[in-house]
Amino acid sequence: MRRRLLALSLSLAFAAAHADEGMWMPSQLPDIARQLKAAGFKGQPRDLAELAKPPMNAVVKVGGASGAFVSGDGLVLTNHHVAFGVIQYNSGKSADGSDRDLIRDGYIAADRAAELPANPDYRVLVTTGFDRITDRILADAKGKQGRGYFDAVDAATKAAVAECEREPGYRCSVANMYYGTDFYLVRQLELRDVRLVYAPPNDIGNYGGEVDNFVWPRHAGDFTLLRAYIGKDGKPADYAPDNVPYVPPAHLQVSTRNVKEGDFAMLAGYPGVTFRHRMASEFANQVQWQLPARVALYQRMIDTIESTTGKNEAARVSYASQVRSLKNSLKRAQGELDGLRRSDAVTVRKADEAAMVAWLDQQPDAATARTDIAAAQAVLDQGMTTRERDQLLGVIASQTQLLRSAITLQRLAYERGKPDAQRESGYQQRDAVLITGQLKQVQRRYAPAVEKALLTELLTQYQALPARQHVAEFDAVFGTTPAQLKTRLDALYAGTRLGDESVRLATMQADAATLAASGDTLLKAAATLQPAILRLDEENKTSAGELLRLRPAYMRALIGFRQSQGRAVYPDANSTLRVSYGRISAMDPRDGVHYRPLTTVQGIVEKHTGAEPFNAPQPLRDAITKGDFGSTAEPSLGNASAGAQTVDFLTNLDTTGGNSGSPVLDAQGRLIGLNFDSNWEAVSASWMFDPRYKRAIHVDMRYMRWLLAKVYPAPHLLKEMNLPAE
Amino acid sequence: MRRRLLALSLSLAFAAAHADEGMWMPSQLPDIARQLKAAGFKGQPRDLAELAKPPMNAVVKVGGASGAFVSGDGLVLTNHHVAFGVIQYNSGKSADGSDRDLIRDGYIAADRAAELPANPDYRVLVTTGFDRITDRILADAKGKQGRGYFDAVDAATKAAVAECEREPGYRCSVANMYYGTDFYLVRQLELRDVRLVYAPPNDIGNYGGEVDNFVWPRHAGDFTLLRAYIGKDGKPADYAPDNVPYVPPAHLQVSTRNVKEGDFAMLAGYPGVTFRHRMASEFANQVQWQLPARVALYQRMIDTIESTTGKNEAARVSYASQVRSLKNSLKRAQGELDGLRRSDAVTVRKADEAAMVAWLDQQPDAATARTDIAAAQAVLDQGMTTRERDQLLGVIASQTQLLRSAITLQRLAYERGKPDAQRESGYQQRDAVLITGQLKQVQRRYAPAVEKALLTELLTQYQALPARQHVAEFDAVFGTTPAQLKTRLDALYAGTRLGDESVRLATMQADAATLAASGDTLLKAAATLQPAILRLDEENKTSAGELLRLRPAYMRALIGFRQSQGRAVYPDANSTLRVSYGRISAMDPRDGVHYRPLTTVQGIVEKHTGAEPFNAPQPLRDAITKGDFGSTAEPSLGNASAGAQTVDFLTNLDTTGGNSGSPVLDAQGRLIGLNFDSNWEAVSASWMFDPRYKRAIHVDMRYMRWLLAKVYPAPHLLKEMNLPAE
């Protein structure tokens, strides 16, 4: 009895620790109705279950991220940074010939006629179907292995998408849930006429800029209002002046209530990718090798570039963007590593997996499952035997300019030998513009000495690897000793004309035969490397197919084990609609420091320097000084009589990249916030959710209401959203 | 009646806002007994009033800063950074010939015999007398003005000090209180044999180093124990093996109680200098001109040096220290400026002064006082007419190497014409070593191109000043147009041999006649400038004398006005013993961020990187992991059963530079903390105490006790201090 009580209390503690973790498929919410209600949700969980019904169908995919309808006339709320391209597209010369800078000034469309069309490729996607088609996708794959399994799933996916897209105006995709366990056909109405309605000045929308990125406390008004239009026939259409506003099946109501610490909050959106349900060995590899190796490798690459460019100003400029990007990646990798170590992720995941296996061994089908899991582990183990090489070759192919161009040009010629539809994605006709751009960009990003120094660094590391990691073609091209490497690189870069843009662009048109006959040293090297590259691609697809076949055994065991703990399992994020719930939460980032969960306009004044990114516009500062906050003030903050005007707030909601623009709802489903960032301490949440540090950052809808009411007024939009004028 | 009530409530609010401001002379404490008791002090304020009686005579001046006796056998507690020179002095070769690094390793004297003598110039000063001698100091000054007043005060001061120091073993000084209103003779027993007893490793004593300097939350164990010795005859003596521990007249008892947010705290020490009672026009000048001008000037100097050294590595190294020092000064000036603006210091001080003047006008002696105040204001106004020039000439004289050497050498020859005692301080025989060092240092800090560029920048600014700010001798040497300046500087630096160290050192011995005959261009320039420099010195002393005569009228008005508000006035800090009281206080440094007032060892682990300044020693990390905190844990923090081991704590006590090592006492006078730093937001407190931002940072005595009990054990010292063994 004591043991059972102990077990119960442990499992309750465990459940409590994980209460706010989860990117749930809406269809799962009825299954977790009890915990959702216990957390404070006042509605019916089953009302949230269907993607194609209210309120979930008010949540849209927009500009590659998330957003929501906020009026019956197709008004869409998303982040300023998600709509940035639209704002930029409408800056410059305006219709009447005058210059305008909507990034700097913001924009308020006085009426529908003044709403400005977005760039033609900008989309709002409304989900209208979400159907489980696992059997159909796996029908042909059954009994197959490796590459065969991969190809069967790929073919069935393409067929399902093609069939679904037969109806014009829709875009379809197949979502893989639980790593190959389930497949869903997602059907989305594709709205192609999107217009800019209201954007705050960049100094509000992006207040704090890069300095505040990933930072709490935050003070950005990162929101923009767009409107979706359709043709007069009620069907999606390209922009046309006489299109009409799209009437969405549902829209969210912006809240007029107070919002304070501890309140229930819920968020819906399209998180991109997480790795939470990866195997314990993958966690260990990530923390013990992948991230430290990436940090070390990027650091050496940065050092190599910086010491080679040295005092050469032109070279420094050419490589500035690459160095900045490497530093950014390094910083993120270090942040992820620090976070996973802080959370002791490897130990926690390993103990959890061991407990799962112990549970599995008690189940009737344990033997089969253990066989599949062991086989998946073997595939992963096999991959790890060449991880150093794979990392280096990946970087060599992606972080060089001239060598990468040569490899691309050879591959292009090779793929051009196939019908367009069968070409590898990235080398089809529709990719030509992208490749041309890349080949042109080389001119501004290349210096021979730097590329040679970088390759010397990377290939010296490659040469030092044990024989089993070597690839014959690479050895043939670059030699196997530092001395050979130096000779070969000197020869390769002395004998190539690819440094000349016209030569690169002309070569893009050449067929395989012409290329084969080319005397250009780098093109010849790329020709030698190509069979290796194709072979490694093939091996990757084979592994991917095997993992697609084998991981479901692991996932089913995990789901069963969690069920035995009284917990449901959400699938790792894959850019499909998910729901997360939790509350408005303070945070203790480190000893002695406490972050309050709501910021106020006072912080805008404190941060203001008059220079970007802290250049609060005069009208905003005047309005703050005036202190006329009316119904948008939070009475529990600031001075007793007027309260304080909030700006942003912090929740413990479970988010990741792609959740930008996700609506944040209160217990009654009213819109209280707009997600736009997460905190630095949460970078590691893509692998592990640590409730101590995982937070999401939102624009308080009261700040948006105040801006629309008092600072950059748009009374007609407040009226359209059924909101008070002040 | 309503007006009187309003006035009363305003004055109560005012008093409340200032309740924790004040660096009180101990003798003032009985006057503020009521507010001291209201704040929570449980003792008798009159017991604190006498510097030469307990507990105040347990507070000592040590190593130029503060400290306190903590045992009856002369054990002195001060900061690790205050005793750093002693620790450094005892590192290197030890008596037995082995190398030792006490900075790295720390030190525990196993017994008295193992206590290590400090560098011979290290002092512990015990105040034994503090007597008001205003009448004596001002007797001869009465009726005089300007330079005459200055000289009379100077002579009376020197005479009083000489008389007091006739008794061997004492050091005396005269403290000027309230800007010339009162003068006190301070008599201090000078203990010359000081020994190192216990120092933690630098990685504990200076944990966080420069990175954490001025930062909260903080995690340094910035303390060291010394012991004062005297001769067997009971008199102060130089170090001798058979000296005996000094028995202090009193010592403080380290507390064994809990310490938590809101608790009363009190601090005694030797704060250096503040400007709180300067006139409103001086506040305005500081914020509106002095600090912004300093920031701009230093920035241009940094830019000039950096752009001139450019890619010249040798020049960069030569100027690295000067650039670092300029950047540091610039940062502090900017911090002070930001703080004074944040506190709206100019407006607040101006309104306060206006209210004081309105009050003064109701007093019987208003006319005389107003006359003196107006005259003081006129002296300040006169000074401001040449502030741009004075700033530039000051920088030219202090921030150049060769020109400064030439000026020094000429002045030295001039002063050598007088008897040593009458020479200007800085040019006496005892200064020779310092000057030689300076002249030698030039070699490592000089590059002709940089000095010329710096002078071009500074003198171009000087040339642009209006005619009334010009000095004929400077115009004669450097010309009055940029073209002349270039020609003159080229000639000056082409025709000097002062770049040669041997020439500089040889010139140091030359008499005025030899120097007058020198053909060296820079020495000739310095000879031309010298009359101007002497004249400006003279003018400064005249102004100083006038202000010394006139400011007391302002101070008496302020004291009377404050009295009418029910408030006492402490004198601005001047390195004499002061007492401040307040409480352990959290802080809201900016919107959304809350600093808790106690840090714990958990923060040491969080900050630990394994590299300085965050390289927590292994024994410390092991002890933290072990979690055996015993009686030193704070039960209100951490986990419920064990509490948390605190490290540092934050109070709202009023401190400034010089307060390092000040003991922090609880309501019963027990020692709970050791002051060692203040927060960045408080840099501006030298001018204005803003209760929202002014905090002081202390080592929690429980951290010291825990280190002595569990980490680097010294049970004999715990016993000596009457503290539990764990």
Q: Give me the residues of B, 309-328, that contact A with CB < 8 A.
A: 311
Average pLDDT over residues B249-257: 96
Using the Cβ of B519 and the Cβ atoms of chain A, whether some distance falls under 8 Å is answered with no
Residues of B with CB below 8 A from A598's CB?
592
The token pair at B697 is 């940072």
Task: Give Rg (Cα) of chain B.
Answer: 27
Amino acid letter, residue B556: R
* A606/B599 Cβ within 8 A: no
Q: Domain map of chain A by residue range?
A: 56-259, 280-551
Inter-chain residue contact B590 with A216, CB threshold 8 Å: no
Instruction: Return the ∠ at Cα A75 (arms to A70 and A80), rounded to 5°.
Output: 90
For the residues A517-538, what does the mean pLDDT come to? 95
Chain A interface test: which of B211, B343, B587, B591 (most A C-beta within 10 Å): B591
Q: What is the pLDDT of residue B328?
A: 85
Please indicate if any CB of chain B lies within 8 Å of the CB of A69. no
How many Cβ atoms sit within 10 Å of the Cβ of residue A447?
20
Cα-based distances in Å from A63 to A81, A85, A171, A659: 10, 9, 14, 12
The alpha-carbon radius of gyration of chain A (Å, integer) is 27
pLDDT at B14: 43
What one-letter code names the amino acid at B6?
Answer: L
Give start and end residues of each alpha helix (H) in B215-365: 280-285, 291-309, 313-342, 345-360
* A595 and B CB contact within 8 Å: yes
Q: How far is B452 from chain A (nearest CA, A)?
A: 25
Among candidate residues A591, A77, A181, A558, the one with its CA nearest the CA of residue A359: A558
Compute the average pLDDT of residues B221-250: 97
Using a CB-CB cut-off of 8 Å, the residues of chain A touching B595 are 592-594
Find the residue in A nearest to B597 (Cα): A592
For residue A103 the two structure tokens come to: 């990034």
Nearest to B595 among A218, A592, A607 (CB): A592
Which tens digits make up the pLDDT trace of B189-203?
999 999 999 999 999
Give the DSSP H/E element, type plus range, for residue A209.
Answer: helix A209-212
Please state, in angstroms and rounded to a whole number, the distance separating the CA atoms of residues A371 and B474: 92
For residue range B63-98, list pLDDT tens digits in order.
989 999 999 999 999 999 999 999 999 988 666 777
Confidence category of residue A425, pLDDT binned at 50, 70, 90: confident
Angle, nearest 10°, between helix axes A448-463 and A402-415? 80
Query: Which chain B residues are closer than 8 Å to A596 by Cβ?
Result: 592-594
Q: Is the pLDDT at B3 greater than 50, yes or no?
A: no
Which residue of A342, A591, A608, A690 to mutate against B (max B Cβ within 10 Å)? Answer: A591
Closest residue of B to A587, CA-based?
B593
Of B332 and B649, the structure prediction assigns the larger pLDDT to B649
Q: Across the interface, which of A216, A217, A311 has its CB nearest the CB of B311?
A: A311
What are the tokens at A615?
């250049």
Give contacts of A592 with chain B, Cβ < 8 Å: 216-218, 595-596, 598-600, 603
Residues facing B643 on adjacent strands: B639
More confident residue, A526 or B54: A526
CA distance B147 to B537: 11
> Chain A within 8 Å of B171 (Cβ-Cβ)?
no
Choose, from B73, B193, B222, B677, the residue flagged as catalytic: B222
Pick A592's closest partner by Cβ from B217, B311, B591.
Answer: B217
Q: Please report, to the nearest 10 degrees, the dihedral formed by the alpha carbons of residues B710, B714, B715, B720 taken in order.
A: -130
d(CA A323, CA A445): 11
Which is it for the CA torsion A584, A585, A586, A587, positive or negative?
negative
Measured between alpha carbons, how far is A603 from B590 in angstroms, rounded to an integer?
7
Residue A76 identity (one-letter amino acid) = V
How many of the other CB atoms lie within 10 Å of CB of B381?
12
Chain B contact set for A599 (CB, 8 A): 591-592
Answer whether the bond into residue B55 is a cis peptide, omega within 30°.
yes
Average pLDDT, chain B: 93
Q: Which residue has the tokens 């009890």?
A: A34
A70/chain B closest Cα distance in angstroms: 29
Determine the residue type at A435: I
| Confidence (pLDDT) at B16 | 45
Q: Is A86 exposed, middle or buried (0-12, 13-18, 19+ CB in 10 A)?
A: buried
A596/chain B closest Cα distance in angstroms: 5
Of B590, B598, B606, Cβ closest to residue A590: B606
- Assign A95 a pLDDT band (cuts: 50, 70, 90): low
Record: contact A592-B598, CB cut-off 8 A: yes
Beta-carbon contacts of residue B639 (< 8 Å; ≥ 6 apart): none
Residue B696 makes CB contacts below 8 A (sequence gap 6+) with B267, B650, B651, B652, B653, B654, B655, B659, B675, B677, B678, B682
Residues of A with a catalytic annotation lie at 81, 222, 660
SS3 assignment for A319-362: HHHHHHHHHHHHHHHHHHHHHHHHCCHHHHHHHHHHHHHHHHCC
Percent of chain A predicted with pLDDT > 70: 97
- The answer on pLDDT for A423 being more than 90 is no
Terminal-to-terminal C-alpha distance of chain B: 62
Contact A592 B311 (CB under 8 A): no
Considering the candidates B66, B255, B660, B678, report the single residue annotated as catalytic.
Answer: B660
Per-residue pLDDT averaged across B456-476, rounded?
97
**Contact yes or no for A595 and B598 at CB 8 A:** no
User: Per-residue confidence at A94, pLDDT binned at 50, 70, 90?
Assistant: low
**Is the minimum CB–CB distance between A599 and chain B shorter than 8 Å?**
yes
* Residue carrying the six token digits 């959290």: B586
Are B592 and A217 within 8 A, CB to CB? yes
The better pLDDT of the pair B284, A57 is held by B284
Mean pLDDT for the stretch of residues B105-109: 97
- pLDDT for position B640: 63
C-alpha A345/C-alpha A641 separation (Å) is: 47
Q: What is the pLDDT of residue A78?
A: 98
CA distance A603 to chain B (A): 5
Q: What is the DSSP string of B400-455?
A: -SHHHHHHHHHHHHHHTTS-GGGSPTTSSGGGHHHHHHHHHHHHHH--HHHHHHHH
Judged by DSSP in three states, B712 sits in: coil
Among residues 561-590 of chain B, which lie with CB inside 8 Å of chain A?
590
| CB contacts < 8 A (A, B) | 55
Q: How many CB atoms lie within 10 A of CB A277?
A: 18
Q: B616 to chain A: which residues are within 8 Å by CB?
A: none
- For range A64-87, the mean pLDDT: 96
8 Å CB contact between A117 and A124: no
A151: closest CA of chain B, how far (Å): 48
What pLDDT, on the 0 to 100 scale, is given for residue A311? Answer: 83
pLDDT tens readout for residues A618-674? 999 999 999 989 899 998 887 766 789 999 999 999 999 999 999 999 999 999 999
DSSP letter (8 states) at residue B254: B
pLDDT for residue B431 is more than 80: yes
pLDDT digits (tens, 9 = 90+) for B643-675: 899 999 999 999 999 999 999 999 999 999 999
Chain A residues whose CB is inside 8 A of the B217 CB are 590-593
Which residues in chain A touch residue B599, judged by CB atoms under 8 angstroms apart? 591-592
- Percentage of chain A exceeding pLDDT 90: 84
Position B636 confidence tier, pLDDT thresholds 50, 70, 90: confident
B217, A590: Cβ pair inside 8 Å? yes
One-letter amino acid at A445 equals R
User: How far is the C-alpha of B485 from the C-alpha of B477, rounded, in Å?
Assistant: 9
Q: Which of A534, A300, A288 is nearest to A387 (CA)?
A: A288
E-strand ranges in A112-169 read 116-117, 124-132
pLDDT of res. A93:
67
Instruction: For helices B482-494 and B448-463, give the axis angle rounded to 10 degrees.
Output: 150
At B399, which amino acid appears? Q
Packing angle between helix B402-415 and helix B387-398, nearest 10 degrees?
90
Q: Does residue A264 sit at the B interface (CB-CB below 8 Å)?
A: no
B677 is catalytic: no
Q: Which residues of A touch B311 (CB under 8 A)?
A: 311
Residues of A in contact with B607 (CB under 8 A): 590
- Cα separation, A499 vs B306, in Å, equals 36
Q: Does residue A483 surpass a pLDDT of 50?
A: yes
**Distance (Å, rounded) from C-alpha A294 to C-alpha A390?**
12
CA torsion through residues A631, A636, A637, A642, sign:
positive
* Helix pair B432-445, B402-415: axis angle to 10 deg: 160
> What tens digit of pLDDT does each residue of A430-464 get?
788 889 988 998 888 899 999 999 999 999 999 99
Q: How far apart are the first and last CA of chain A?
A: 61
Mean pLDDT within A151-158: 94
* pLDDT tens-digit series, residues A161-191: 999 999 999 999 999 999 999 999 999 999 9
pLDDT, tens only, B546-569: 999 999 999 999 999 999 999 999
**Distance between CA atoms of residues B468 and B447, nearest Å:** 33
CB of B600 less than 8 A from some CB of A: yes
Which phi and psi angles does B553 have, rounded to 5°? Answer: -60, -45
Written as one string, the DSSP assignment of B569-622 is -PPPP-SS-EEEEEEB--EEEETTEEE-SEEEHHHHHHH--SSTTS---HHHHH
Q: What is the DSSP secondary structure assignment for residue B566, as one 8-state letter?
A: T
